[in-house]
Amino acid sequence: MKETDGLRYAGAPRYPLMPAWILALVEPIGLAAKLVPQFLFPLIGLPHMMHFLNRIFHTCLISGIALSPLSAVAEPLVTPITALVAPVDGRPQYPLTRTESIACGHWDKNSQDYPYFGAPRSRNTRNHAGVDIYPAGGAGSPVKALADGVILKIAPFYTRANGEVTYGVLVDHADFVANYAELEKPEITVSAAIKQGEAIGRVSGTRQLHFELYTKGTTDWLQWYGKQPDNLLDPTDMLVKLLYPNAASPGKSDGMAAESYSKTPAN
């Protein structure tokens, strides 16, 4: 496996490959930038630049691009994205990245239902611990394992306003742990081995796969209150690569504005 085409999830929760000296340099500047009135900056000001740099670092991290020799001592946990398969078939109905999902026009401004990681939930007391993927096939669409794994937990996850109970399935994929949630009651069982691409279950009436990503060794899913939990990872970049393998950006999906959608306050 090439070191440059992998995902690194181990080590520090956010930027395991970012050398400490870069963090030490960049974070105070970013903080200071936030404290300075925006009008002091030209159109593309320092805060924007810092955000841009942050995205570059993050992209490098997800792409497995080593930012310094220090990366050689990071935990050697690497799962190449090319070795994973997408959890649903086809191009999703709605984008899942923060920028695209806000821009797509499908959700109200300040919505509690945005599909992106970290989106507000429960009147801003909680953050969205995963991303919501709306498969093209809608309710009943199969949800597939990203990789070989073992089923750790199956339990009710979220109950819809109409009483439908949806389920979460926690899978140990060795290098990482994933929660495939808001499914119809699955037919698989705890401790069963599952093969890559094998069906874990089907999307429930919420019409979405709620997907959470955790560091290896995680044994339960969680809700995100306050600071981002150390074992909870942002799956956005990984899923974008899997769901839109030929696109530079998820872009807008076809027909998203035309569709009427019941805004159930999903997880």
* Interface positions with Zn ion (CB under 5 A): 132, 210, 267
Whose Cβ is closer to Zn ion: residue 15's or residue 134's? 134
Whose Cβ is closer to Zn ion: residue 79's or residue 267's? 267
Q: Which residues of 219-248 are buried (b: 16+ CB within 10 A; e: fewer)?
A: eebeebeeeebebbbbbbbbbbbbbbeeee
Whose Cβ is closer to Zn ion: residue 144's or residue 210's? 210
Whose Cβ is closer to Zn ion: residue 71's or residue 208's? 208
Whose Cβ is closer to Zn ion: residue 57's or residue 116's? 116
Which residue reads 């890559």 in tokens? 196
Q: Which residues of 169-187 are buried (b: 16+ CB within 10 A; e: fewer)?
A: bbbbbebbbbbbbbbbebe
Tell me the C-alpha distance between 205 and 203, whole Å.
7
Q: Whole-number minimum distance, CB 132 to Zn ion, in Å?
A: 4
Whose Cβ is closer to Zn ion: residue 9's or residue 114's? 114
- Beta-carbon contacts of residue 248 (< 8 Å; ≥ 6 apart): none
Cβ-proximal residue to Zn ion, closest one: 210
Alpha helices in 86-206 (DSSP H): 98-103
Q: Whole-number minimum distance, CB 135 to Zn ion, in Å?
A: 14
Tell me the C-alpha distance between 169 and 68, whole Å.
37
Q: Are 209 and 132 in contact (CB under 8 A)?
A: yes
Q: CB pairs under 8 A, 24+ apart, for 23-27? A: 26/50, 26/53, 26/54, 26/57
Q: Whole-number minimum distance, CB 27 to Zn ion, in Å?
A: 29
Q: Are 98 and 117 in contact (CB under 8 A)?
A: yes
Q: Whole-number minimum distance, CB 209 to Zn ion, in Å?
A: 9
Tell me the C-alpha distance between 116 and 70, whole Å.
31
Q: Whole-number minimum distance, CB 153 to Zn ion, in Å?
A: 17
Kind of pairing, strands 209-215 and 131-133?
Answer: antiparallel
Whose Cβ is closer to Zn ion: residue 33's or residue 183's? 183
Q: Whole-number minimum distance, CB 127 to Zn ion, in Å?
A: 11
Q: Whole-number minimum distance, CB 50 to Zn ion, in Å?
A: 28
